[in-house]
Amino acid sequence: MSNVFAQTEKEAYKAALRQFQQQYNQKKFEAIFHQFSPEMKKAMPLSKTIDFLNGLFEQAGKLKAYSFINRKSGFEIYKAGFEKGILSFQIALDNEDDIAGLLLQPYVPEDLPHIERNTTHLILPFKDVWTVVWGGDTKEQNYHVESRAQKNAFDMVIMDATGKSHRNNGKTNEDYYAFGKELFAPCDGEIVLVVDGIKDNTPGESNTMYVPGNSVIIKTANNEYLFFAHFKQYSIKVKQGDQVKQDQLLGLCGNSGNSSEPHLHFHIQNVENINIATGVKCYFDHLTVNGQPKNDYSPVKGDKLGR
């Protein structure tokens, strides 16, 4: 048994968090600033602290209750129940019992399933040759690695012989080879989420209000969740609750959400909710990589993929 269960909350943290709760719920954000250590005040000046706490209050509401979970890397970690949801509340104190660190994140239950890689047999979700522009295990290969849910994600486009993803000047979505291309289910499964109706961006612009844009999530028989993002507006052909078969048409590639050009974003996660999910390493069964046949392969940046 891990010794984490034997950890107890320190009295100084109880007092600091109790004071934080009172001041936060009364929106006395300047008083919270005065709880900060000198270093914390430099990192989070008063105006920045007030903006942060105002934003938190608007999104989460009052802090209703909290419970100690464990201690890690100098922080005490709490499960914090706000009016509008549950967050992981992490706080560090210095030797003077001033707040030296504060971190709020989506609360991730410890009993979520742990999945290293997919066991479901997957085919590529397209029939053309696509190029992986982001994919792999390192930051150089894949900027997604810093995201818990998207750490094993792929971004893919279609390129011509010169390495361009578009014809003409690339100022319209129709200039891009990937735009409007059909995307297919990599396996049998259940459609558990569909988002449609979000406008496609003008190339070079992004919609950060809804990052995935038009999207589909497929739940496999092995409880893996396949996440597709950035479909073309109104192009999705499936609906929530549908049972789909491998190679069934899902919709058309688009440029919706946090996307600067038409492309496919695809990843696997361990639960449906992207806010608490952990990414799963993705392997495809049979495919060609740079013209060569591969089996049980996880693509990386620069690979040209085909069936």
pLDDT string in tens for the chain (307-residue length): 333 344 677 899 999 999 999 999 999 999 999 999 999 999 999 999 999 999 999 999 999 999 998 888 889 999 999 999 889 999 999 999 999 999 998 888 877 899 999 999 999 999 999 999 999 999 999 999 988 899 999 999 999 999 999 999 999 999 999 999 999 999 999 999 999 999 999 999 999 888 999 999 999 999 999 999 999 999 999 999 999 999 999 999 999 999 999 999 999 999 999 988 999 999 999 999 999 999 999 999 999 999 9
Q: Measuring CA to CA, which residue among 175, 274, 294 is closest to residue 215?
A: 274
C-beta separation of 125 from 230 below 8 A? no
Residue 112 has a pLDDT of 84
- What's 130-306's CATH class? mainly beta
CATH 3.10.450.590 in the chain, residues?
A: 3-106
Determine the distance from the C-alpha atom of residue 128 to the mean position of all C-alpha atoms in its chain, rounded to a whole number. Answer: 27
From CA 178, how far away is CA 197, in angstroms rounded? 19
CATH 2.70.70.10 in the chain, residues?
A: 130-306
Residue 6 has a pLDDT of 46
Bridge partners (DSSP) of residue 18 are none
Residue 62 buriedness (CB in 10 A; 0-12 / 13-18 / 19+) = middle
Bridge partners (DSSP) of residue 25 are none
Please count the other Cβ atoms lying within 10 Å of the Cβ belonging to residue 280.
23
Residue 7 has a pLDDT of 60
Question: What string of DSSP letters covers 227-238?
Answer: EEEEEPTT----
Q: Measuring CA to CA, which residue among 96, 105, 103 is closest to residue 34?
A: 96
From CA 40, how far away is CA 86, in angstroms rounded? 25
What is the CATH number that goes with domain 3-106? Answer: 3.10.450.590
